[in-house]
Structure 1
């Protein structure tokens, strides 16, 4: 019988995705415990920006009320460097789960991997930052044998990255990637310019999306297009294009120039109705052609062109017919001349965490 092997897990970030992940991790741990040959998962550290809960002796933290215990913890808050050293000294393999969107944490990935610590994360900033950071992450992993998986950095729990990697690694030639990559933008345009009916005023739809929790606290963080640009940067790199950064190709911002520098998100929403006519004109122009506008990202691999912005689509097009806050990503390749399409919920704590949990299972199989 194969001896049970311990794997030590540290979780950074205990917000919406983090809490959902901890719940899924408990279920996974219980399922693995029933399989004689499986690895034993031990959570030895959970942290958020100002709190750390950890087990100095590497004994597992109980799952019961982990989030509450973290909030009540009086243990010294560990710096990221101290967390890395703590994991590196663990008596068995260790995995860092980074559920933050922190650039500071992302910048440390090469050092984490160099010490043999695997990483699972939805953090887009690590893989869409400078091209040098991208190269350093994967060369550190290759040198140490540590694994790094980031399915949820694009499309939450949808199998977007794993599908693209499989296409590339099996020798297919990806010619085009196109889609709606933002749950926020999907929701906004499906309600502002629906395929049937007239939709509401742009400013009213943005306000509604914020009230429903679909946007960032400041909606400009969604409307500037940078979130989509980050996801495209990741996919373009996986498809073989050495994209330097998310600002190195055209990205259309939907923030009126006059409102870019207003002090707050609330002030932005107050003044946005003054600019409704701009979006209304674009919607009407598309309608005259029998089309609707959607906010999409596209990568033309052959021409090496990456761009993010508004495009017009026939009402029957799969991108036009999306519902709610769904994402849709299409891959056109040598093998898939009719595109291979992935569609479904592209945002939300549970589905994002599911992508993270799925990646953790892959790492456990490969350690």
Structure 2
């Protein structure tokens, strides 16, 4: 014999009921079958809602009752031929009349007892099974109807069910010993208590009904049909990458179902484990799919962790105080109080100092538990030996489950490291001695991020998802987006990095997409976005609360750089080509470094110096490896190098500067480059990375521009002054040329002092042949005292700057 159970989603419409009938009849071809049915989808919720409305003297329950009556009667008319309808319609109407009477009583008494709740909640299964039994009759399948209340006896206190197994099994065995037949239709969920009053087996109890019949009759297998392809590695509605588990043990299934996996009602397993009966979780809408097999062993599951699950309807209770330390029996009193109030403890953790006990309970039982415990320990609280019980809300439990976890070292470390790296704070930890479950209490808002993080860590092909929020989509930003789109497949295939752009902003508009912005259409999405707002941008990033989040700043904005701290405090990494933050007040620079370390985020700014060249990275590696920086000499402005490589006193100086602007080598205001401020910021950053506490005003600057040009109120005025001063620029050029030297704007750090200025360099100097917009840095160190370590290459331009930002993003991905 086979036992089949079908959930409410499988019975949501007459069309689905016909599909279910085909599945039942296919099983019935080779074996006798007991088919257990839940209520039609959504009906049980409606039944309870009507009871609550009636108890509140809200007459609208009648409208909802009429809607449900129509739904069931319509199902009869659609499923059964006309000549077969009258008998079933009569039975359905009788049950609905009985239900209406119960609601009227609740309405008149303005009272809804637990007993009445259980009675009305079971009508959905009664109605569905009567209709489905009639449908099988119309198919000439000769079904027999089993009223589960005649067999299953239980004691029900709220949602805690105790079945009288001996009495129940005896009734089922006796019936089947004296009854023939091969197809039986039974309502799930419903039962009677020992006084014969109708009751239920708890929400989800139709699974339990099937298990009870199976155990009583010693069948070999039970099929639980639902609307998914089995038990998943995680909740697929939260973790899109989750997939069905092929094989799982009873113990693993118990842990997963206890911790919130809704595919299986937890008590279902108890009678089946005792009889070693296999369970198959199958999809009604994909009956040929493998589904999940639950049995004594899960040897086919090759992973150390079988699944990840969570409970979010919990609260933490914490009791602490010096009066608990070394006091025998304190824990006994604590848990005895909860037992007496019939409160189930979901998770327990106690400090080794015995100074505190922390437990998780269902959220609707937390206040009752607190009141009972405060009353029980009233004396100790009054003498301040312990504190009153504290309730912590908005928490959830996430758990790793797997039989093989006890055979593998380091899983706890991987779990907590993965959560910590994503700024997920752990409030409490529990691990059973069987090592089959590791549980952590976290903030409820962090559940999606935690589940996705852990799934990525333990189940997915070693890969990492990076979620980018980019501000600034001009020259550099647009090039970066193009590079990200072009390299998307390469990053996934070769580096196992899945990079998604979740948010974009320019100075006017911003746009966000929870599925990731299409980088082929980002301009259109941004144009249709909302008004740009830096505070709201941060709120969106924090609201998404995604793992491995990175804020990318492609601007030169002082205001945007002031927000870096807030991103880092929320464990959002920052990648920037904006030099302002790192060349700001030294305390600000130091605070950014400290925040990155404190919150496990990255703060990367390689492109602050030399665009895509690995200048800062090289310097950091020298310092970290214990080398001593003696001197740094550098040409750090691609724009100034381009200008002085191009200017030869034949074309006016201002024309060369205009050309540099057009090529994208300078800032929109070219004075930032030509004044030496930009170079001063760069050498300041290198000085700080070398270990010097230095401010921007400490950098000595030798200006080749006149004070008048630097005070110009606009670019137009600036260029007019450059035109007027052409003779001076020619003289500077000719003085160098006549000596066989070339002009380079040089930055230097030596003996804790830094300076920038225009210098003449001869043919023997490494700077002499530096062409175009290239940068060059000479590192004189304890290891390279005479022949410096040289980094040289393109140091300006949107493409190379974007590639440097891209490289920093990859560094975070490989971290």
TM-score (ref. length: structure 1):
0.90
In the other structure, the counterpart of 2:524 is 68
Is 2:623 the partner of 1:168?
yes
Are the equivalent residues in 2 in contact too, given 1:183–1:214 (CA < 8 A)? yes
| Aligned-partner Cα distance in 2 for 1:211–1:91 | 39
In the other structure, the counterpart of 1:239 is 690
Is 2:216 the partner of 1:216?
no
Per the TM alignment, residue 59 of structure 1 is displaced from its structure 2 partner at its CA by: 1.8
Are the equivalent residues in 2 in contact too, given 1:220–1:255 (CA < 8 A)? no
Change (3 A) 1:199 1:343: farther
SS, match of residue 633 in structure 2: strand
In the other structure, the counterpart of 1:84 is 538
| Aligned-partner Cα distance in 2 for 1:204–1:49 | 30
Is 2:506 the partner of 1:48?
yes
| Aligned-partner Cα distance in 1 for 2:655–2:482 | 36
Is 2:722 the partner of 1:268?
no
CA deviation vs aligned residue, 1:110-133 (integer Å, no higher than 9, x gap): 221011101111111111111111
| Aligned-partner Cα distance in 1 for 2:605–2:670 | 25
In the other structure, the counterpart of 1:96 is 551
Per the TM alignment, residue 328 of structure 1 is displaced from its structure 2 partner at its CA by: 1.1
CA deviation vs aligned residue, 1:53-79 (integer Å, no higher than 9, x gap): 102xx2222222212321x21x33352
| Aligned-partner Cα distance in 2 for 1:113–1:211 | 35
SS, match of residue 240 in structure 1: coil
Per the TM alignment, residue 336 of structure 1 is displaced from its structure 2 partner at its CA by: 1.2
SS, match of residue 126 in structure 1: coil
Are the equivalent residues in 2 in contact too, given 1:177–1:299 (CA < 8 A)? yes
Are the equivalent residues in 2 in contact too, given 1:292–1:313 (CA < 8 A)? yes
Of 451, 456, 474, the match for 1:15: 474
Alignment of 1:18-33 (within 5 A): 18-33=477-492
Per the TM alignment, residue 211 of structure 1 is displaced from its structure 2 partner at its CA by: 4.5
| Aligned-partner Cα distance in 2 for 1:268–1:169 | 44
SS, match of residue 699 in structure 2: coil
Alignment of 1:1-367 (within 5 A): 2-3=459-460, 4-34=463-493, 38-55=496-513, 58-70=514-526, 72-73=527-528, 75-89=529-543, 90-192=545-647, 200-245=651-696, 247-300=697-750, 303-337=751-785, 338-366=787-815
| Aligned-partner Cα distance in 2 for 1:287–1:18 | 39
Which has the higher mean CA deviation after the structures are superposed, 205-214 or 17-26? 205-214
| Aligned-partner Cα distance in 1 for 2:809–2:754 | 31
**Which segments of 5 or more consecutive residues in structure 2 lack a partner in the other structure?**
1-457
Q: In the comparison of the two structures, how many residue pairs are matched?
A: 354
Are the equivalent residues in 2 in contact too, given 1:218–1:266 (CA < 8 A)? no
CA deviation vs aligned residue, 1:177-235 (integer Å, no higher than 9, x gap): 11111111101111235xxxx76443443344345443334432221111111111111
CA deviation vs aligned residue, 1:342-366 (integer Å, no higher than 9, x gap): 1111111111111111110110111
Are the equivalent residues in 1 in contact too, given 2:664–2:798 (CA < 8 A)? no
Per the TM alignment, residue 269 of structure 1 is displaced from its structure 2 partner at its CA by: 1.7
Are the equivalent residues in 2 in contact too, given 1:149–1:359 (CA < 8 A)? yes
Change (3 A) 1:78 1:174: same
| Aligned-partner Cα distance in 2 for 1:68–1:154 | 33
| Aligned-partner Cα distance in 2 for 1:142–1:218 | 35
Change (3 A) 1:39 1:221: closer
The alignment's C-alpha RMSD in Å is 2.1
| Aligned-partner Cα distance in 2 for 1:172–1:46 | 41
| Aligned-partner Cα distance in 2 for 1:319–1:107 | 36
Are the equivalent residues in 2 in contact too, given 1:182–1:327 (CA < 8 A)? yes
Q: Which has the higher contact order (CA 8 A, sep 6+)?
A: 1
Change (3 A) 1:147 1:275: same
Which has the higher mean CA deviation after the structures are superposed, 320-329 or 289-298? 289-298
Which has the higher mean CA deviation after the structures are superposed, 265-274 or 199-208? 199-208
In the other structure, the counterpart of 2:382 is none
| Aligned-partner Cα distance in 2 for 1:104–1:217 | 17
CA deviation vs aligned residue, 1:68-113 (integer Å, no higher than 9, x gap): 321x21x333522222232233242311111111111111212210
Change (3 A) 1:6 1:280: closer
**Which segments of 5 or more consecutive residues in structure 1 lack a partner in the other structure?**
none
Which has the higher mean CA deviation after the structures are superposed, 251-260 or 350-359? 251-260
Per the TM alignment, residue 12 of structure 1 is displaced from its structure 2 partner at its CA by: 0.9
Change (3 A) 1:306 1:86: same
SS, match of residue 613 in structure 2: coil
SS, match of residue 536 in structure 2: helix
Per the TM alignment, residue 42 of structure 1 is displaced from its structure 2 partner at its CA by: 2.3
Which has the higher mean CA deviation after the structures are superposed, 338-347 or 286-295? 286-295
CA deviation vs aligned residue, 1:266-323 (integer Å, no higher than 9, x gap): 22222323323333333333344432321111111xx211001012211232212111
Change (3 A) 1:136 1:315: same
Change (3 A) 1:292 1:271: same
Change (3 A) 1:263 1:76: same
| Aligned-partner Cα distance in 2 for 1:206–1:59 | 44
Per the TM alignment, residue 249 of structure 1 is displaced from its structure 2 partner at its CA by: 1.8
Change (3 A) 1:52 1:201: closer
Which has the higher mean CA deviation after the structures are superposed, 267-276 or 92-101? 267-276
SS, match of residue 350 in structure 1: helix
